[in-house]
Amino acid sequence: MMIVKATIVPFFLLLWASSCRASADIEEFFTDLEDIPNPSWFSLKETLVVGENSYGPAYGSTIQVNHDAVQVGRYAHREISRPTALHSVTNSHVSPKDWDQMSRWYQEDGNTQVFRLFPGDDTIRNSRVNAPRSEAYGLVGWLRGDGWFEWSGRYTFLKVRPGAVLQIKHNSTYWSLQLILEENADGTFDLKYVKLRNISAKTLLMQDVVGKGVDIRVLDDGENHKVYVNGELKVTNKMTDRPEGEDNRARWGLYSPKSAMDRDILMFVTGAYVGPALEESDDWTDPETDSPKNIWGFWGGFFDWLVPDKVKAWFSNRPGFDSYKEGSADLLALIEKLDAEPDPSFYDKYYSNPDNEGYGYL
């Protein structure tokens, strides 16, 4: 009896201690107001449209972000990038006017985006199953030759599972850069860089990420890319075979395919920006220095204020920075492109290949 107690008690103590540690670590970052019920996927699904894009509704309890703990670092003061759309399990393109109906999966609080998923949640908008996600994507695209473009923001990882948290994609099948979460044998998660077609290009960016925040900055010029972690350059690499004329686009949040969701997911991204590369400032305490509005300096701001969007579009021969308008032909064409089913030969070659496990997420 004594022996049993001697082994069991410490075992339970350990379990108790580890569960305390996990919850204590993340609770300082938010409060779940529990003001709206979060139904089980089983009962919610009964009310949703299956087989085509729909807008739910899929409401969820309000997550109140603890700004003091979350909105820190280089991007703390930056407003969330626009124009941005949401890709949820029911719809590949949800524009801001419909985000309230997706509060189960996406919310904003101050400069912070809240990405959430629940057990069972899975794609129902098309026939592709086992591809749960809550991702935002920038409608800003860039081509080779446009110069350096940037995605930057601060991740706070709270409840996670393996998947992609940042991707640069140039068509519906191919990505040129992914940052992923990988699970270790001890249940901790690491943030890694992974490059298409080169498994050795996986680079550890941050260890044991749950309960931590990290500033990520990615630069891409349609050919080369760089990844900075907390201001430090960690990866320089390239993917040169992106076809001419295909826009590169950034998406972030959690995309976690291979099975329906099996747990609660909660991740924050603060100060997300997509657009022409910004000057990195040394003074991150000044909310103005890293403001996207200031990228062209005073005269850029003046131009922006003076010139109507229509006139600005004449200067550009393609839809680009800030030029997608709700319901416009350009936007509809873009959505169609993003909605295209991935290339089946790609699946066979890379994704369905067991050696490719963890190599990247389509």
Ligand X SMILES: *[C@@H]1O[C@H](CO)[C@@H](O)[C@H](O)[C@H]1NC(C)=O
Least Å distance, CB 141 to ligand X, is 14
Q: Least distance to ligand X from the beta carbon of 188, Å? A: 24
Q: Are strands 265-276 and 249-255 parallel, antiparallel or unpaired?
A: unpaired
| Position 224 contacts ligand X (CB under 6 A) | no
Q: 241: left (phi > 0), else alpha (psi -120 to 50), else beta?
A: alpha
| Min CB(336)–ligand X separation in Å | 12
Q: Which of 174, 228, 255, 273 binds ligand X (CB under 6 A)?
A: 174
Contact status: 192 vs ligand X (CB under 6 A)? no
**CA separation for the pair 54, 46 (Å, rounded):** 14
Instruction: Give the residues across from 267 on adjacent strands.
Output: 115, 157
Residue 173 binds ligand X, judged by CB under 6 A: yes
Does 345 participate in binding ligand X (rule CB under 6 A)?
A: no
Task: Tell which one of 62, 66, 171, 289 touches ligand X (CB under 6 A).
Answer: 171
Give me the count of residues in the chain.
362
| Binding flag, residue 126, ligand X (CB under 6 A) | no
The residue within the footprint of ligand X, chosen from 26, 201, 210, 335 (CB under 6 A), is: 201
Rule CB under 6 A: say whether 240 interacts with ligand X: no
Site string for ligand X, 5-34 (x = CB under 6 A): ------------------------------
**From 77, 144, 169, 242, residue interacting with ligand X (rule: CB under 6 A):** 242
- By CB under 6 A, which span of 25-33, 64-72, 106-114, 234-242 interacts with ligand X? 234-242
339 binds ligand X (CB under 6 A): no
Between the CA atoms of 150, 275, 284 and 238, what dihedral angle is there, to the nearest 10 degrees? Answer: 10
Residue 110 or 342: which CB sits closer to ligand X?
342
Q: What is the 3-state secondary structure (H, E, C) of 39-85?
A: CCHHHHHCCCCCCCCCCCCCCCCCEEECHHHHCCCCCCCCCCCCCEE
Q: How far is the CB of 107 from ligand X (least distance, A)?
A: 33
Number of amino acids touching ligand X (CB under 6 A): 12
Is 338 an interacting residue with respect to ligand X (CB under 6 A)? no
Q: Binding segment for ligand X among 86-94, 160-168, 193-201, 218-226 (CB under 6 A)?
A: 193-201
Q: How far apart are CA 231 and CA 194, in angstroms?
A: 19
Binding region for ligand X (CB under 6 A) out of 119-127, 171-179, 210-218, 316-324: 171-179
Q: Which stretch binds ligand X (CB under 6 A): 169-177, 254-262, 269-277, 313-321?
A: 169-177
Instruction: List the one residue from 51, 145, 243, 354 that touches ligand X (CB under 6 A).
Output: 243
Positions in 34-93 near ligand X (CB under 6 A): none
> CB of 195: closest distance to ligand X in angstroms?
7
Q: Which of 200, 240, 285, 317 is in the footprint of ligand X by CB under 6 A?
A: 200
Distance between CA atoms of residues 226 and 236, nearest Å: 5
Q: For residue 176, what are the contacts with CB-CB under 8 A and spacing of at least 6?
A: 168, 169, 170, 195, 196, 220, 225, 239, 242, 248
H-type helices in the chain, by residue range? 2-27, 41-45, 67-70, 297-306, 309-314, 329-339, 344-346
Stretch of 33-41, 148-156, 235-243, 348-356 lying at the interface with ligand X (CB under 6 A): 235-243
Shortest gap between Cβ of 150 and ligand X (angstroms)? 21
Query: Residue 110 and residue 315: Cα distance in Å, rounded?
Result: 33
According to the binding rule CB under 6 A, does residue 230 interact with ligand X? no
CA 319 – CA 29 distance, rounded (Å): 38
CB 36 within 8 A of CB 80: no
The C-alpha atoms of residue 298 and residue 276 are separated, in whole angstroms, by 16
Q: How many Cα atoms occupy the beta-carbon half-sphere of 284 within 13 Å?
A: 13
Phi, psi dihedral angles at 308 (to 5 degrees): -65, 155
| Phi, psi (rounded to 5 degrees) for 113 | -95, 135
Residue 253 and residue 268 in contact, taking contact as beta carbons nearer than 8 Å? no
Which residues contribute to the site for ligand X (CB under 6 A)?
Answer: 170-171, 173-174, 198, 200-201, 237, 241-243, 343
